[in-house]
Structure 1
Amino acid sequence: MIRNYGTVAWRNLIRNKLFSAINVLGLALGMTASLLIFLWIRDELSIGRQYAHSAQLYRIMEREYTDGKVVADDDTPGLLADELKKEFPEVVYAAGFSWEEGHVLTVGDKAIRQTGCFAGADWFNMYSIPLLAGTPAMALQSPNGVAISRKLAEIYFATPQNALGKSIRFDNGNDYQVTAVFENLPANDPEKYDFLLSWAAFLQREPWLTDWTNGGPKTRVLLRPDANVAQVDAKLKWFLKGRNTDFGPTFYINLFLQAETDAHLYSSFKDGFLDGGRIEYVQLLAVVAVFLLLIAGVNFMNLATARSVKRAREVGVRKVVGAARSALMGQFIGEALLLTLFAVLIALSLVKLFMPFFNQLTDKQLALPVDQPVFWAITLALWLGMGLLAGSYPALFLSSLHPVRVLKGTLRFGAGAQLFRRGLVVFQFTLSMLLIVGTVVIYQQLDYIQRKNLGYSRENLITIPLEGELARNYPVVRQELLRMAGIQSVTKTNGNPLRNGSTTESVTWPGKDPNAAISFHNSAVGYDFAKTMKLTFRQGRDFSPAFRTDSSNYLINEAAAKRIGYSNPVGQPLIFWGKPGKIIGLLRDFHFNSLHEPIRPLIIRLADNHYGNLLIRTQPGQTRPALASLEALCQKLNPKFPFTYSFVDAEYQRTYRSETVVGTLSTIFATLAIFIACLGLFGLAAFMAEQRTKEIGVRKVLGASVASVVALLSRDFLKLVVIAIVIASPVAWYVMRQWLQGFAYQVEISGWVFALAGFLSLLIAFLTVSFQSLKAALMNPVKSLRSE
């Protein structure tokens, strides 16, 4: 019997090639998109959970109350980790962790820039990163020791075993001895480093970190398995009170814990408290994946129903000869499972085919986990679930038909069945409308980010690490650069012009409330900083070598002037870090951080540092020859360091990489959802045309035009699409409004967005239905009425 059912199912699929192909294509596309999303979500959820003790790992966070505002981040004092181990019996291990830095590592004639950090001695005890050489206890104990990755060991020493005990020169200065070799970090590890230096070396290099009033590095702790996290959190809250001497009525810091397993997905804070993060993208794509599967399943139902008239007589004959309803249901569900099996096989092939493109788009290194039973269990569940979902309605419907009505030709579909099918169409196009509106709004916001006047020009702006002879002989280097063709201006800065996270409360002025702690961002720059960045002065001037007193003078932005209370700040006194000076320039506000954040008060001082970045503006159209000249000069003056540069506009693009990826995925999935929904609409149009074949024939005999017949068949479907537009519009507005709240500077959602999305939905629906309607309208009425 099963063999007979299989034969009948196969013959039916072959006989209806077009409908079978549409069914398989719709299911395959829905499954392909859902599998790709599943792999992406799986990777996102695994970040922070790859360590043996992930459940016990926590990040120490600060909630800083200052100037009537609350800000949360993970910048902590440099001495915090050691103190926590002493004061908290629940803490098994604790380690500080610095920001990522690029250093030139030299062994013999190999000098390559690598990325690394400083970490506390407990780091390898806390994070179960396999060591290929050395021990966790000794890896980060020595101030002159360095732990390197397998990749670096193979680059410099051929094997991890050969690396142990060997020396590496850092930035052509100090030599460090390899104390351990660790396995390369997984691609999805939240931290990116290829070497680690000891915390003792970090405190020696940055003595300001031994002051409890300063923060910057991160702190991680590993709690005992039986530790009460809530109690630890409560005790931790006021830990800095008494240690940080800046505490007062208007300034204080509360510490709190954040689980390592939550840090990646829940990283956005508003007014000091958790406000989402990447989890929102995970949830969004999970919903999209489910909807795509549902739309694909709905299409199967619609197409199967559309062909039910063709199968009705078959069902009637089978029932007359004694076929039970359960057997008929098994027959149709079996056909659905067979179709779904084809779709699953095609989907797996498409996932394999599109994986490189998807990885490039999402900056992932995903692969089909064919060696994991869980993956095959999910695939099996997907096959059975989609097969049963897609085949259930046709099976129940067709198996319930009365043979007498079917064989007499009086088969009609009731109001309930029609309402159900119309509801599915509304559901499909509601989702499509949501995706269209979302795609348009995301595109608008990304375009706004690209076109936003940042207060400076990021085009033709290049950064070069200030290191070695470039740092020691900066005045000479600057003069050499300014003499080169194609270079417009040169300056230096102690940080990144796109990301300024350095803040201080050590700013005073006449009339300031002595109890008020007000936070200011600050930056150290060279001469011509405003000129090179193309900043605009409201008042005053830039730093100039013609004024020797500029070493104690300051530039401020409008936000700082407003917070200080100076209406005409130029010439007014300002004391920064205890160093008195005057304000010589008032700059128009410019964005020195992400557009996710509002512009904060900023103080700029003249740099006396020998680190940071050279900032070079080239003449428009002269960037390539200017780079060649730059490289030649760097190789001449700084031969022991490889020439490295980056474009500020490229860095700016990378800042909004997550939003760009979401925008691209939204476009792809919106297009796919609309396409799959149109397959369902095509099926319903075919169903309606078959149901009304004789009616169309009669109308044509009575003189109806082709246009009137097309309008007749299209009108009902377009009404459903209009209903979907009405339902989707307020939902889309609310969802996208919530997404835009993550930006301090954002576009307004205009009414034309919904008008455009509605027009596109109606146009696509009309074109889809018109194809089938036109085909029915052009049919010879003699063929449809000859049985009469």
Structure 2
Amino acid sequence: MQQHNLKITYRTFLRYKSSFLINLFGLATGLTCAILIFLWVNDELSTDKFHEHDAQLYHVMLNHEEDGGIRTDTSSPGLLAEALEEEVPEIKMAVEDSDPLWFGENFSLSDGEKFHKASGKFAGDGYFEMYSFPMKYGQADHALKDKKSVVISESLATRLFGSSKDALNKSLEWKLLHFTSQATVTGVFKNLPTNSTQQFDFVLPFSLFKDILGDGLHWGNYNTYTSVLVTPGTNINQLNQKLADFIKNKNQGSNVSPMLVKFSDLYLYGQFENGQQAGGRIMYVRLFSVIGLFVLIIASINFMNLSTARASRRLKEIGVKKSLGAGRKTLIAQYLTEALVMAFLALIFAIAFTYALLPQFNQITGKVLTLTLSPTFIGGLIGIVIFTGLLAGSYPALYLSGFKPINILKGHFRGSATEAWTRKGLVVFQFVLSIVMVVSVLIVYKQINFALTKNIGYDRNGVILVPMEGKATENIESYLTRLGEVPGVEHVSASSHTFTQNGSFTTGVSWPGKTEGTIIKFEQSRAYYDIQQTLGFEMAEGRSFSNQYGDETSKIIFNEAAIEAMGLEDPIGKKVNLWGEEKEIIGVMKNFNYSSLHSKVEPMLFHFKTDFLPNILIKLNTKNPRNVLSNLREWYKINNPGYNFDYTFLDTAYEAQYKAEERVSLLARYFAGVAIVISCLGLFALAAFTAERRQKEIGVRKILGASHFTIVRLLSADFTKMVLLAIVIGLPVSYVMANFWLQNFAYHINLEWWYFAISGAAALVIAWLTVSFQTIKAAQTNPSASLKEE
């Protein structure tokens, strides 16, 4: 019997080729989207979850109590780890490390012949015991104990010494700005997994970082990351309450309270409000999970609608079969077999589509996803397919097979009102989702475009960032002066800030009239001469640093936000105290965005320094930047031998801040397009079903003189009402969602009415174009063909 059903299924597919192909394409597309989204979501959820001690691994966050509320930050004092491990019994181990981004690519390693750029960090000697970055060679518990040791990755070992096996116990030289030292390779760790938020090429002992910090190593300087392993069974809420005053007891007058947050949660839940986790990337994970589910539901609805529309053609077949003795179970088995065969064919095509699209999908998402057909994954897909097939085949199998053959053969078959409303409701639901997605894509696109084109207060065009290295660290004044003489270079300066993301901050500023207990966070940057001319920011009052005035180490510049926060009037010439040193205010710069538009402009200061300036800023003549870069490359070979001329355009670095939003926007664009296409297939299915049901009515109307336009308008009216209803429902929903998303930006676009009008109009036009094919076809049918019986 099953063989007979398969044969009938094959013949049915051949007979109704268009229905078969539309069904197959729609369901396969929906399944493909669901599989791709599942791979992306699964990778996001697995980030940082691979550590052996994941359940006990926590990161120490600091809650800063300020006038505007509580601000949560990831960095902590360099003394904290040792104190926690010694004084808190619930903490089994505490390890400190530095952020590689603080130094960028300023680290250089020499194998004795030439220097190699690499991303490095400093970490405590228990780092490789706490985090599961397996050692390929060497011992994790001894690798960082000696101050002259270094642990490197497999790939860096191969780059430096030809192979990772030959690297152990080899010597190398490392340089960071004007710091340099010899080190011995005491360990080689396996290349870090792609789903690790920590990415680096080598690790140096944290004791070296303490030497670099010097007097900067104290309880009021937050320049370190601290991670802890708590003992199993520890109540984290109780421990956080116990730690609330830990730093305040060490540093009188401090406004910070430590808070332990599970390390693997920080990737997805990295946003904090008033000292509590308040979301983050998990918003995008949830969004795409819902999108994947909705696309699959839309595809399943289409499958059911199109199956239903074509099933009415086979009513007489049902009647004849039942009159010849076929039982209801036989018919149910036949129609369910057809639906399941269609669903499994769609799954095969979906897997093939996924393999074909995965390289492009990886390029869009910036991930390295692979489709591994594990038993669990295959079982889940088969379960979805079986559910979809049974759902789609349920109407013809259970509903149509229950009719009496005599009623079918006499043409007394009529669908119920509930059935019609259900089908229409499903189409409305499809278009509501499509409209929401279209509006969302438009809003995200407009916001990103706003972020990239907004005047942020300084000119990033034609400015490149070059690491401070080699000869530059020996005599910065002479080096930068000669660099400024290269043809095509307009201005040169240096800074500890990249001006594309938050850098270091301080609360160690005192000023005339400061009231006791007032704490203000200042973003701070060390800066060199000509910083204003190089970046092009405007001065509200006073001047910037200039070598015309000699030594500027006792001078300081604030932005307008800082002056306002301090409540200073006529600030030029007034004296403030920074870390115990008296500084004279020589300028007030106009506010500019030194990080992304996610954050508002906060108080900032520049103080003049000639050391620890990791970033050289070069303003190029933009008329012919290629020639200028070529000149710089040649100059670099002569004046900084052994180093490559590596640079980053400031505008490129700025745009990279919105990479996550751009990827979400692009993915949403693709998935919105898919949802619209599949929704149109659903509308197409309903139009086909309606045209078949009203075939004789159309024939009678045409005989009585109805024009083609009248027939098209008659058949299109119901579909227009459904889409208009979807617009009425979808636009308010999309407004609420768009407004909620824009709250993540301190500066954002206004939600204009025409964003929603365009989206609604587009949905209506697309619906009309979709329906027009079936309605025009029905209107052009010869009345005699419509009225004749088979």
Q: For this structure pair, what is the TM-score category when the shorter chain's length is used for normalisation?
A: over 0.9
- 2:37: which partner in 1? 37
Q: Secondary structure at the match of 1:241?
A: helix
Among 291, 294, 298, the alignment partner of 1:291 is: 294
Q: Secondary structure at the match of 1:550?
A: coil
* Deviation larger for 82-91 or 707-716: 82-91
Counterpart of 1:125, as a letter, is E
- Cα distance, 1:574 vs. partner? 2.2
Residues 333-732 of structure 1 aligned to structure 2 (within 5 Å): 333-370=336-373, 372-548=374-550, 550-732=552-734
Q: Secondary structure at the match of 1:242?
A: helix
Q: Secondary structure at the match of 2:541?
A: strand
Structure 1: distance between partners of 2:270 and 2:776 = 54
1:155 equivalent in alignment to 2:159: yes
Counterpart of 1:91, as a letter, is I
Percent of residue pairs identical:
39
- 1:83: which partner in 2? 83
- Cα distance, 1:396 vs. partner? 2.3
Structure 2: distance between partners of 1:246 and 1:515 = 8
1:210 equivalent in alignment to 2:217: yes
Counterpart of 2:58, as a letter, is Y
- Cα distance, 1:43 vs. partner? 0.4
- 2:169: which partner in 1? 165
- 1:46: which partner in 2? 46
Structure 2: distance between partners of 1:635 and 1:382 = 61
- Cα distance, 1:400 vs. partner? 2.4
- Cα distance, 1:625 vs. partner? 1.0
Structure 1: distance between partners of 2:220 and 2:35 = 49
- 2:5: which partner in 1? 5
Residues 36-185 of structure 1 aligned to structure 2 (within 5 Å): 36-100=36-100, 101=103, 102=105, 103-171=107-175, 173-185=180-192
Cα deviations across residues 216-255 of structure 1 (Å, max 9, x unaligned)? Answer: 21111112223232322222222112212332xxxx1111
Aligned partners of 1:463 and 1:616 also within 8 Å = yes
- 1:21: which partner in 2? 21
Counterpart of 1:221, as a letter, is V
Structure 2: distance between partners of 1:598 and 1:487 = 32
Q: Secondary structure at the match of 1:220?
A: strand
Aligned partners of 1:213 and 1:245 also within 8 Å = no
Structure 1: distance between partners of 2:395 and 2:84 = 62
TM-score when scaled to structure 1?
Answer: 0.97
Structure 1: distance between partners of 2:318 and 2:630 = 79
- 1:785: which partner in 2? 787
1:302 equivalent in alignment to 2:309: no
- 1:187: which partner in 2? 194
- Cα distance, 1:67 vs. partner? 3.1
Among 321, 326, 329, the alignment partner of 2:329 is: 326
Aligned partners of 2:712 and 2:776 also within 8 Å = yes
Q: Secondary structure at the match of 1:162?
A: coil
Structure 1: distance between partners of 2:5 and 2:42 = 38
TM-score when scaled to structure 2?
Answer: 0.97
- Runs of 4+ more than 4 Å apart: none
Q: Secondary structure at the match of 2:464?
A: strand
Q: Secondary structure at the match of 1:92?
A: strand
Structure 2: distance between partners of 1:485 and 1:397 = 82
Structure 1: distance between partners of 2:83 and 2:330 = 73
Structure 1: distance between partners of 2:365 and 2:231 = 36
Aligned partners of 1:146 and 1:197 also within 8 Å = yes
Structure 2: distance between partners of 1:515 and 1:301 = 68
Aligned partners of 1:62 and 1:72 also within 8 Å = yes
Aligned partners of 1:121 and 1:139 also within 8 Å = yes
Counterpart of 2:357, as a letter, is F
Structure 2: distance between partners of 1:285 and 1:515 = 46
- Cα distance, 1:549 vs. partner? 5.5
- Cα distance, 1:41 vs. partner? 0.5
Cα distance, 1:145–1:499 mapped onto 2, change above 3 Å = same
- Cα distance, 1:280 vs. partner? 0.5
Q: Secondary structure at the match of 2:572?
A: coil
Structure 1: distance between partners of 2:249 and 2:517 = 17
Structure 1: distance between partners of 2:493 and 2:578 = 22
Q: Secondary structure at the match of 2:552?
A: helix
Cα distance, 1:266–1:624 mapped onto 2, change above 3 Å = same
Structure 1: distance between partners of 2:605 and 2:756 = 44
Aligned partners of 2:527 and 2:613 also within 8 Å = no
Structure 1: distance between partners of 2:233 and 2:586 = 58
Counterpart of 2:88, as a letter, is F
- 2:228: which partner in 1? 221
Among 234, 243, 250, the alignment partner of 2:241 is: 234
- 1:752: which partner in 2? 754
Structure 1: distance between partners of 2:707 and 2:68 = 73
Counterpart of 1:104, as a letter, is S
Q: Secondary structure at the match of 1:531?
A: helix
Aligned partners of 1:493 and 1:526 also within 8 Å = yes
- Cα distance, 1:573 vs. partner? 2.4
- Cα distance, 1:209 vs. partner? 5.0
- Cα distance, 1:117 vs. partner? 1.0
Cα distance, 1:552–1:209 mapped onto 2, change above 3 Å = closer
- Cα distance, 1:693 vs. partner? 1.2
Counterpart of 1:413, as a letter, is G
- Cα distance, 1:333 vs. partner? 1.5
Structure 2: distance between partners of 1:208 and 1:147 = 27
Aligned partners of 2:576 and 2:585 also within 8 Å = yes
- Cα distance, 1:610 vs. partner? 4.3
Structure 1: distance between partners of 2:236 and 2:551 = 54
Structure 1: distance between partners of 2:98 and 2:386 = 50
Cα distance, 1:237–1:327 mapped onto 2, change above 3 Å = farther
Cα deviations across residues 3-48 of structure 1 (Å, max 9, x unaligned)? Answer: 0011111111111111000000000110111100000001001011
Aligned partners of 1:461 and 1:615 also within 8 Å = yes
Structure 1: distance between partners of 2:181 and 2:24 = 64
* Deviation larger for 760-769 or 748-757: 748-757
Structure 2: distance between partners of 1:674 and 1:685 = 16
Structure 2: distance between partners of 1:605 and 1:126 = 38
Aligned partners of 1:47 and 1:190 also within 8 Å = yes
Structure 1: distance between partners of 2:191 and 2:167 = 15
Aligned partners of 2:91 and 2:228 also within 8 Å = yes
- Cα distance, 1:125 vs. partner? 1.1
Aligned partners of 1:697 and 1:782 also within 8 Å = yes
Q: Secondary structure at the match of 2:259?
A: strand
* Deviation larger for 498-507 or 38-47: 498-507
Structure 2: distance between partners of 1:212 and 1:522 = 18
Counterpart of 2:22, as a letter, is I
- Cα distance, 1:783 vs. partner? 1.5
Cα deviations across residues 472-502 of structure 1 (Å, max 9, x unaligned)? Answer: 2222222223222221111111121212332
Structure 2: distance between partners of 1:27 and 1:123 = 49
